[in-house]
Structure 1
Amino acid sequence: MRVMAAIFALMFSLVACAADKAPAAYQAGTHYTVLETPVRTMDPSKIEVTEVFWYGCGHCFKFEPMVHQWSEKLPGDVDFERSPAMWNALMEVHARAFYVAKALGVFDQVHQPLFNALNLERKRLGNVDELADFFADFGVDKDKFEKAYASFGVASQVKQADARARSYKITGTPEIVVDGKYRISARQAGGQAEMLKVADYLVAKIRDERS
């Protein structure tokens, strides 16, 4: 009987050691990148998940339905944000369109149509006039659009988004940044659906650390 007890104890010890040495489901440097310098989030009381995207990016276009559905199911302690990327003049124009839509309260109406216009209809929407005509189809007065487009508030948000992407050290779009600390790309995660799984893992990791 003592021999059996000793065997069971040894087996339990080996299993415990194996569990201690088992790798995490997702590993830093493999499935996601740890930012050298964390970026301040908008609300420190929440876990912030930020998608960095561009309306003209075909990968972002394919990712949008997935990330939208995923974001709708996030718990109350998580904030989901979108932040436009811009490394050329055209992307800055589209970033301004994003913040104008927010400022004028028509984001929900124009967000997906902007993706469709650039990726399906092959429109450029490369200047204020073309965008004013586009927004007019959704009931936005052209003068009102142009004033918002040129406003200090929109310009400031565009600059902040650009600075944020630089701090994140974004290498492409779409990418996800969790709580200003961890950056996830499709290449690292193994695909777009896996990006969201890694994000879930990191959200749970941060939640455990905070508790």
Structure 2
Amino acid sequence: MKKIWFLLLNLIFIFNISAEQFDEGNQYITLSKRTTIEPQVLEFFSFFCSHCYDFERIYHINDTIQNNLPIGIKLIKYHVDFLGSDLGHTLTHAWAVAIALGVEDKVIAPIFDGIQKDKNIFDSISLKNIFIKATGISSKYYDLAWNSFVVRSLILQQQKAALQFDLHGVPAFFINGKYMINNSRLDTSTMHNFINDYVNIINFLIKKN
């Protein structure tokens, strides 16, 4: 029943992208320095962030955003280190492995649940076990990816991006490296309105590029 409801919700948003205007300094903020000239949607999140969990696992905001983006534009997701002490960095490392292997969609739900719901991820070994179970890869292949140059580069890429945007909290969405969505000023009267505002403002800012 939940899957049917979610599919219907996505259809509603596909045909409900309006020409509604959003105001600079209100629903979004223009950054003083642009970090890219390419159209993109970049989200910063943490597996320890309760709001990030709601976005991903309860309200499926991220899936709805992805399904309503213009063709050729992908929702890029970077993990941050500043929550969860040492395990926060370990999770950033694991997320880099997921990006490198192209298995983000397979691991994001199990890792979120393992951190916030089931509480069965508490160190690098338990994290590895969840990752392997979700993807079906071997322990050896996971270790090779974990220690690879590509993954080390992706860790630095995520950390550098967080510094470039002077990030202090998550979830945080940046559009075209130029605009930041002000979550607190979107319509929170209902879940539908909040998700609708997110979809609309992202597409508004992409076109504004």
* TM-score of the superposed pair, with normalisation by structure 1: 0.75
Distance change >3 Å, CA 174–CA 203, structure 1 → 2: same
Is residue 195 of structure 1 aligned with residue 191 of structure 2? no
Task: Using the TM superposition, name which of 173-182 and 161-170 deviates more.
Answer: 161-170
Is contact 1:176-1:195 (8 Å) kept?
no
Equivalent AA in structure 1 for residue 24 of structure 2 = A
Partner of 1:6: none
Matches within 5 A, 1:24-103: 25-40=21-36, 44=38, 47-64=39-56, 65-87=60-82, 88-103=85-100
- Of the candidates 118, 129, 133, which is equivalent to residue 133 of structure 1? 129
Tell me the matched-pair count: 178
* Identity of matched residues, %: 24
Equivalent AA in structure 2 for residue 92 of structure 1 = H
- Give the superposition deviation at 1:77: 4.5
Structure with bigger gyration radius: 1
Is contact 1:185-1:195 (8 Å) kept?
no
5+ long unaligned stretches in structure 1: 1-23, 207-211
Q: Structure 2 CA distance, aligned partners of 1:190 and 1:133?
A: 40
Q: Deviations over 1:23-50 (max 9, x none)?
A: x832222221211111126xx3xx2011
* TM-score of the superposed pair, with normalisation by structure 2: 0.76
Structure 1 runs, 4 residues or longer, greater than 4 Å off: none
- Give the superposition deviation at 1:190: 4.8
Q: Structure 2 CA distance, aligned partners of 1:67 and 1:182?
A: 18
Partner of 1:172: 169
Matches within 5 A, 1:97-136: 97-127=94-124, 129-136=125-132
Q: Structure 2 CA distance, aligned partners of 1:102 and 1:78?
A: 16
- Give the superposition deviation at 1:80: 2.0
Is contact 1:174-1:185 (8 Å) kept?
no
